[in-house]
């Protein structure tokens, strides 16, 4: 019997690209196996054109999530919908735990996070700078010290595989490399391959460094060419409060989301091909 995958945040650029990669480059994964969780009818309509299963579900409603996971026999979840909010992740993790208990088969949770919370200028120790270092133990030690990590990086570890994908801003990766890493991990989960998970399940998606100012210049020019903005020059936001309100996050999160100066080394992605 085939094993099914639930992907949250599938209407976004990164996760939409993962879905497209799964369907176009991995014929062993069928459209019938892929379920996408969305929030709006517009998102559901757009994703339905791909021929995959679309679920309009409130991820904060644990009983609804449990019912959906059980009825659709979901064994792998790729969670990329608002990793800032742990209240959206815990119902998914608890639902997978119940699914594992009832079905008697392994379940896997792949969580997407941000690498900038592991930068020294976010308070992270400089000595822990590889995804093979004691990342979990360090997070646990500092969980109550910083509001960012207390909210973003304090998962509940249950008796199924737990993987963390760390995507980054200035330490960067091309979308094709990122989707390839996701798909490699997804297929390892589907086949129950023995890859690092749980406390050792941190995978940093880092391929190169990029200059944020140059990137913003190119982005602004491209947006101007498409008629999306009136100027081809990026502007500095007037205050942290203004920026936080614009992207709907607490102001305390702003620094970790956009800080530069990271030096985190990716080891584990190479270990799984």
| pLDDT tens column, 45-67 | 988 888 999 999 999 999 999 99
Structure tokens given for 148: 């960012």
Task: Give 156's DSSP letter.
Answer: -
Rounded Cα distance, 68 and 12, in Å: 21
Burial 41-74 (b: 16+ CB within 10 A, else e): eebbebbeebebbbbebebeebeebbebbeebeb
Q: What is the CA radius of gyration of the chain?
A: 19
CB atoms within 10 A of CB 226: 8
Look at residue 260 in the predicted model and tell me its pLDDT: 60
Q: What is the CATH number of domain 4-208+262-271?
A: 3.40.50.720
Number of H helices and number of E strands within the chain? 11, 9
Q: How confident is the model at residue 162 (pLDDT cuts 50, 70, 90)?
A: low
Concatenated DSSP letters of 160-183: SEEEEEEE-SSEE--HHHHHHHHH
Answer for the pair 188, 260: CB distance below 8 angstroms, yes or no. no
Q: How many residues does the chain have?
A: 273
pLDDT tens by residue, 67-118: 999 999 999 999 988 777 778 889 999 999 999 998 888 999 998 877 777 7
CA distances from 133 to 125, 209, 263 (A): 11, 21, 13
pTM: 0.81
Q: In 3D, which of 90, 96, 58 has the Cα closest to residue 77?
A: 96
Residue 245: CB partners within 8 Å, gap ≥ 6? none
Answer for the pair 259, 266: CB distance below 8 angstroms, yes or no. no
Structure tokens given for 22: 């799964």
Question: Strand, helix or coil at 236?
Answer: coil
pLDDT tens by residue, 235-267: 888 888 998 898 888 887 777 776 666 677 888
Rounded Cα distance, 272 and 195, in Å: 7
Question: Among the listed ranges 175-184, 202-211, 222-231, which one has the minimum average pLDDT value?
Answer: 202-211
Domain coordinates in residue numbering, the chain: 4-208+262-271, 211-258
């Amino acid at each position: 019997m085939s094993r099914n995958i639930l992907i949250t945040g599938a209407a976004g650029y990164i996760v939409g690209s993962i879905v497209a990669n799964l369907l176009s480059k991995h014929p062993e994964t069928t459209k019938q196996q892929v379920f996408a969780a969305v929030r709006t009818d517009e998102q559901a309509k757009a994703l339905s054109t791909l021929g995959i299963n679309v679920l309009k579900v409130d991820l904060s409603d644990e009983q609804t999530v449990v019912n959906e996971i059980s009825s659709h026999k979901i064994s792998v979840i790729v969670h990329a919908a608002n990793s800032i909010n742990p209240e959206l992740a815990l119902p998914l993790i608890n639902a997978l735990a119940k699914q594992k208990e009832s079905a008697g088969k392994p379940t896997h949770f792949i969580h997407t996070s941000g690498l900038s919370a592991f930068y020294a200028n976010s308070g992270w120790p400089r000595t822990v700078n590889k995804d093979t270092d004691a990342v979990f133990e360090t997070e646990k030690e500092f969980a109550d010290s910083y509001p960012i990590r207390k909210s973003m990086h304090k998962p509940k570890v249950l008796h199924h595989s737990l993987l963390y994908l760390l995507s980054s801003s200035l330490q960067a990766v091309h979308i094709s490399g990122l989707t390839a890493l996701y798909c490699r991990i997804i297929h390892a989960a589907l086949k129950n391959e023995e890859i690092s998970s749980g406390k050792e399940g941190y995978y940093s998606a880092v391929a190169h460094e990029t200059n944020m100012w140059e990137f913003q210049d190119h982005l602004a020019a491209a947006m101007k060419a498409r008629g999306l903005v009136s100027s081809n020059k990026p502007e500095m936001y007037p205050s942290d409060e203004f920026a936080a309100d614009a992207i709907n996050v607490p102001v305390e999160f702003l620094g970790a989301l956009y800080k530069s100066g990271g030096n985190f080394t990716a080891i584990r992605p190479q270990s799984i091909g």
